[in-house]
């Protein structure tokens, strides 16, 4: 993999022209993990990603969709042996999704058990207002020897972040996280060898437009300033973290 920049969490299939978004990542050599919110979207993502050097497709079932789509877990399970990357999966205990929290936990448990059993999967994980529950479940069900967890847009406490580090997890950081004082402090406390970057596009914006994977260069600049490193050095660190993650 020769990619210099890393967008470890982007919804390429939610851009107006999905195929063009995929092609752009490849042309600009941005390693992009194309996450899906439903397993029904995975085959097309996989088909487009398979033609590229820098884009990979992740098999997801988003916690915010569980209320309507828990039954799609069967489809998710059917596709799992065909992918190494999994996401977006996880838990969301925000007010809009709390009513499905028990179902979310049941689905996430199956997801973690299946991943552990098949070994070597890399997961991008949503944990809004549910950091403790997510960490508890991963600690129990997906040991580092069975799979790798990357916490996406992590907004838990500094103590929870430290616990995730001890459990071997990585963090994908976006610019929105750096807008918030408390989250900035958490990001500052993370070991450099666990950092990845992400956009979560198109859900984040740059100058009023939808963020694109190559915009992670802006994240690198801000993160480099925060960590008092030259951007070039941080770019290398993130690229090396990605290599370590995928070569495990």
Q: Using CB under 5 A as the criterion, which residues of the chain lie in contact with Mn ion when the complex forms?
A: 88, 200
Task: Report whether 2 contacts 26 (CB < 8 A).
Answer: no
- At residue 6, the 3 state secondary structure works out as strand
> In the complex with Mn ion, which residue's Cβ is closer, 200 or 222?
200
> Minimal distance in Å, beta carbon 37 to Mn ion?
7
> In the complex with Mn ion, which residue's Cβ is closer, 7 or 88?
88
> Minimal distance in Å, beta carbon 233 to Mn ion?
28
Supply the DSSP symbol for 211.
Answer: P
> In the complex with Mn ion, which residue's Cβ is closer, 56 or 237?
56
Question: Angle 216-226/231-247 helices, nearest 10 degrees?
Answer: 110
> Minimal distance in Å, beta carbon 227 to Mn ion?
24
Task: Report whether 4 contacts 245 (CB < 8 A).
Answer: no
> In the complex with Mn ion, which residue's Cβ is closer, 196 or 237?
196
How far apart CA 164 and CA 187 sit, in angstroms, is 13
> Minimal distance in Å, beta carbon 197 to Mn ion?
14
Residue nearest to Mn ion (CB): 200
> Minimal distance in Å, beta carbon 14 to Mn ion?
9
> In the complex with Mn ion, which residue's Cβ is closer, 88 or 114?
88
CA angle 5, 6, 10 (to 5 degrees): 130
> In the complex with Mn ion, which residue's Cβ is closer, 92 or 200?
200
Helix (H) or strand (E) holding 226, with range, is: helix 216-226
Closest by Cα among 24, 19, 1 to 213 = 24
> Minimal distance in Å, beta carbon 153 to Mn ion?
7
Side-chain half-sphere CA neighbours of 153 within 13 A: 20
């Amino acid at each position: 993999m020769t990619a210099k920049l890393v967008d470890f969490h982007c919804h390429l299939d939610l851009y107006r022209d999905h195929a063009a978004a995929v092609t752009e990542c490849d042309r600009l050599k941005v390693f992009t993990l194309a996450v899906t919110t439903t397993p029904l979207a995975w085959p097309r993502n996989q088909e487009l990603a398979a033609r590229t050097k820098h884009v990979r497709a992740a098999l997801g079932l988003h916690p915010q969709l569980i209320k309507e789509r828990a039954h799609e877990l069967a489809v998710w399970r059917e596709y799992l042996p065909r992918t190494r990357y999994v996401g977006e999966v996880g838990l969301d205990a925000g007010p809009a999704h709390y009513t499905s929290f028990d179902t979310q936990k049941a689905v996430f448990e199956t997801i973690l058990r299946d991943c552990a059993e098949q070994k070597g999967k890399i997961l991008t994980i949503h944990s809004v207002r549910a950091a403790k529950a997510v960490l508890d479940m991963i600690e129990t069900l997906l040991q580092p020897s069975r799979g790798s967890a990357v916490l996406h847009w992590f907004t838990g406490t500094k103590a929870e972040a430290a616990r995730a580090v001890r459990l071997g997890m990585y963090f994908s950081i976006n610019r929105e996280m750096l807008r918030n004082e408390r989250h900035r402090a958490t990001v500052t406390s993370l070991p450099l060898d666990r950092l990845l970057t992400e956009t979560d596009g198109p859900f984040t914006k740059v100058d009023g437009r939808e963020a694109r994977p190559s915009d992670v260069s802006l994240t690198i600049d801000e993160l480099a300033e925060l960590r008092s490193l030259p951007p070039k050095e941080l770019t290398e660190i993130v690229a090396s973290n990605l290599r370590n993650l995928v070569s495990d």
